[in-house]
Chains A and B, each alone.
Chain A
């Protein structure tokens, strides 16, 4: 893998204002993404994982400027995307495409596949007019569809086929980076495997870079080189796939991994049950955002926000944002809460 930095996100913040009162003033903000930084190298797959509301999809959208980020920089190929105007940004999108979760909602129902693909090529001007028909046939074949499918409408396809059209559209402009936002989540496993294999194949053939946003850790383990774990708008852990799955350091990552049901009845279930739900991102907890549910939380976690850091025994590039990583690892810091019961009648933070 080449080590060229393709995408560099620095101190990215995405707040969504909440309007209220008679004057419709901003009364508060949903801090969907709150100061995150990471780098994606050319040709690699970086996954962003986390539960609903952790900001993973918002991160993907902010990078492509589908929403306008509140603060920070997003450098793509050395250019800060947040400095570009609309027209310049549209040009950049030739190199950065997105595949959405729901392929039906993201395809125009009134356009045939041919029209959809032709429009993408025309806007970006990547293929001369006279060659477009051939290119469309070729693209459909690459994603496992037939050339005669070109004149059909989205409703005539199954979910898996529609997702292939979404992929064909993303590939039609010859991009460098594809953001896959829950791209296989809506698909049945047998079809999901087909699409995952396809994505892997294209990456090899075209040296594509993927930012893969998913809540499914099985899929993430299969497709990623590196993994970013998010919780309530913050990165809690980042590292190569092996480190994250086999040597997780942050208590949230550990709980998340232990919660996944494994398709093996003999699997040793050493489960960490987290109490309650994810708190509201409007008024996130102080200090470490995970402290309200963390089995190891102390007073310090309520007050001090932990930064991403690495220690001696962690692999290169593996970082966690927890004050107690080493002490938990060595067993010196023991859980401060029960984690083996699901019916603990502790009061949890109210949802807003």
Chain B
């Protein structure tokens, strides 16, 4: 996959929800690596399973959901073998997570200081005085003005951008090796988003963390990630380094996403949407999940599911077109760079 050492290796992860209507395979055999010190982006549309993948890594899946199988190796150790007690020592300590909505993920009845101190108390056994000192350092680190004053404020007294900074301060309190950021800026305005993304990037460099960035925004991916996994219907369909993914996308779904994106940096005559909609879980295609919407699909695609295969240069694709078994047009061009006028 990559030449770097990986801090996280997820192999064939499967998480399902058991509902009255039957089993919903939210994450269906997901495999990816997070190279140490780098940022992996997991990108996909609603229902692709990207958030459930993140929750599965920290084993935050609750009833009726269940991790059915696979392996989540964090520094060589399979997290799925750990007991809940052992897992608790990892959460917030070695692996931390920040969520989309800072208001609902901060406890409204505790002050900012109490919430950051909790981390130090649980993982490092620090008392109030030492904890507060460290909390102030953290708030300073994430660029919160007059941190001493903020320590005694409640989440509702802070703006959206400030709350997200507090969340980041909490997540980074114990200097984790891996930060999972689930849509960390989706609820924020774009000028605030720019601040938060830059902050995460700077802190990553300072602390040497690895980051898993979960997002639906391809702009955020291009800007913050080193590697990208594109998910569709619970599966990874393409894994590549960020330049390759944007300059030479290969999976028809990735290409479709890029072509439907209205750009703010240049003029486009027309958008080329992906036809149809994401299939519902109870009518999931048996072959390639994307086949019903794919402009290149053949009988093979509808009948048999392709595997996620290495195609060289650390890139992986789940598509029949790039295999020897492809029986459609041999010269098929999935992606042709458009001629554009950059502004």
CB within 8 Å of B: which residues of A? 51-52, 158-161, 188-194, 196-197, 215-223, 245-246, 255-267, 269, 271, 273-274, 276-278, 342-348, 351
In the bound complex, how far is the Cα of B270 from the Cα of A257, in angstroms? 21
Scoring A158, A343, A348 by chain B CB atoms within 10 A of each residue's CB, the highest score goes to: A343
In the bound complex, how far is the Cα of B45 from the Cα of A161, in angstroms? 16
Shortest distance from the beta carbon of A273 to any chain B beta carbon, whole Å: 6
Partner of A345, one of B143, B246, B259: B143
Asked whether, in the complex, the Cβ of A262 is within 8 Å of the Cβ of B194, the reply is no
> Which positions 27-58 of chain B face chain A at CB distance < 8 Å?
45-46
Q: A160-B277, A215-B190, A259-B194 are in contact. List 14 more A-B contacts (CB 8 A).
A: A189-B45, A189-B261, A193-B261, A193-B262, A193-B272, A194-B273, A215-B189, A221-B264, A262-B264, A263-B219, A263-B263, A271-B194, A346-B145, A348-B145
B142: nearest residue on chain A (CB-CB)? A343
What residues of A have a CB within 8 angstroms of the CB of B268 in the complex?
222
Check if B159 is an interface residue, CB within 8 A of chain A: yes
- Interface flags for B286-308 (1: CB within 8 Å of A; 0: not) read 00000000000000000000000
- Interface flags for B265-277 (1: CB within 8 Å of A; 0: not) read 1011011111101
Q: A194-B273, A222-B268, A265-B222 are in contact. Are A189 and B263 (CB under 8 A)?
A: no
In the bound complex, how far is the Cα of B219 from the Cα of A219, in angstroms? 13
Asked whether, in the complex, the Cβ of B219 is within 8 Å of the Cβ of A262, the reply is yes
10 A-B contacts (beta carbon < 8 Å)? A188-B46, A196-B271, A197-B273, A220-B264, A255-B191, A261-B219, A263-B246, A264-B265, A273-B194, A345-B145
Partner of A51, one of B46, B191, B199, B272: B191
Partner of B264, one of A52, A194, A245: A245
Asked whether, in the complex, the Cβ of A347 is within 8 Å of the Cβ of B277, the reply is no
Asked whether, in the complex, the Cβ of B159 is within 8 Å of the Cβ of A221, the reply is no
What residues of A have a CB within 8 angstroms of the CB of B172 in the complex?
none
Scoring B191, B198, B219, B275 by chain A CB atoms within 10 A of each residue's CB, the highest score goes to: B191
Shortest distance from the beta carbon of B269 to any chain A beta carbon, whole Å: 10
What residues of A have a CB within 8 angstroms of the CB of B264 in the complex?
217-218, 220-221, 245, 257, 260, 262
A188: nearest residue on chain B (CB-CB)? B45
Q: A160-B277, A273-B194 are in contact. Are A263 and B261 (CB under 8 A)?
A: yes
In the bound complex, how far is the Cα of B265 from the Cα of A245, in angstroms? 8
- Interface flags for B303-343 (1: CB within 8 Å of A; 0: not) read 00000000000000000000000000000000000000001
What residues of A have a CB within 8 angstroms of the CB of B159 in the complex?
277, 351
B46: nearest residue on chain A (CB-CB)? A188
Check if B205 is an interface residue, CB within 8 A of chain A: no
Shortest distance from the beta carbon of B52 to any chain A beta carbon, whole Å: 16
CB within 8 Å of A: which residues of B? 45-46, 140-143, 145-146, 157-162, 189-195, 197-199, 202, 216-224, 242-243, 246-247, 256-265, 267-268, 270-275, 277-278, 343
Asked whether, in the complex, the Cβ of A188 is within 8 Å of the Cβ of B216, the reply is yes
What residues of B have a CB within 8 angstroms of the CB of A274 in the complex?
191, 195
Shortest distance from the beta carbon of B233 to any chain A beta carbon, whole Å: 13
What residues of A have a CB within 8 angstroms of the CB of B194 in the complex?
258-259, 261, 271, 273, 342
Partner of A277, one of B157, B160, B198, B270: B160
Top 8 A-B pairs, shortest CB-CB distance: A261-B219, A343-B143, A193-B260, A193-B273, A222-B262, A51-B189, A188-B45, A190-B274
Asked whether, in the complex, the Cβ of B273 is within 8 Å of the Cβ of A259, the reply is no
Scoring B194, B256, B257 by chain A CB atoms within 10 A of each residue's CB, the highest score goes to: B194
A260: nearest residue on chain B (CB-CB)? B264
Partner of A263, one of B190, B191, B222, B278: B222
Shortest distance from the beta carbon of B293 to any chain A beta carbon, whole Å: 8
In the bound complex, how far is the Cα of B46 from the Cα of A160, in angstroms? 12
Partner of B202, one of A191, A261, A277, A343: A343
In the bound complex, how far is the Cα of B162 from the Cα of A159, in angstroms? 31
What residues of B have a CB within 8 angstroms of the CB of A245 in the complex?
264, 343
Asked whether, in the complex, the Cβ of A221 is within 8 Å of the Cβ of B267, the reply is yes
Shortest distance from the beta carbon of B263 to any chain A beta carbon, whole Å: 5
Shortest distance from the beta carbon of A336 to any chain B beta carbon, whole Å: 18
Shortest distance from the beta carbon of B191 to any chain A beta carbon, whole Å: 5
